[in-house]
Structure 1
């Protein structure tokens, strides 16, 4: 797969999402139920097989009651200048 999916910055975002879901005490299936998607939806984006757009990111963070601003600030550390 070409593009920015496999950049280190994107991998860090996925890792942060997985960590936030686990911190919320939710399985992939439980999160999927909260956002109205099949469990495979969560599994595929967590593995990097599916991209997460901004709206999806915000919905997931809301569903796990995570602070979106805190996650964005965390990701901004060492953010590359180019894609």
Structure 2
């Protein structure tokens, strides 16, 4: 089974989504901070696209949260 479907991966993505919302950012605003299109954010939030570690770290920075904080929540 691909890791995108693992419970832990889905929990991390859910934490990313919540962190974005807690920061008051829309998908469009986050995408702009990342230099990406809104569909990039939408696809990983919906589980249609898998994030690598470097992308995860950049997203956390753009949201303003520590990556370790989301991994240990």
Fold agreement, TM-score > 0.5: yes
In structure 2, stretches of 5+ residues that fail to align are none
User: What SS does structure 2 have at the residue aligned with 1:49?
Assistant: coil
Larger CA deviation: 8-17 vs 65-74: 65-74
Q: Do residues 16 (structure 1) and 15 (structure 2) align? A: yes
Higher helix share: 2
In structure 1, stretches of 5+ residues that fail to align are 75-83
RMSD across aligned positions (CA): 0.9
Q: Do residues 34 (structure 1) and 54 (structure 2) align? A: no
State the TM-score, normalized to the length of structure 2: 0.95
User: What SS does structure 2 have at the residue aligned with 1:48?
Assistant: coil
State the TM-score, normalized to the length of structure 1: 0.84
* Rg (Cα) greater in structure: 1
Q: What is the alpha-carbon distance in structure 2 between the residues aligned to residue 17 and residue 11 of structure 1?
A: 10
Q: Do residues 6 (structure 1) and 15 (structure 2) align? A: no
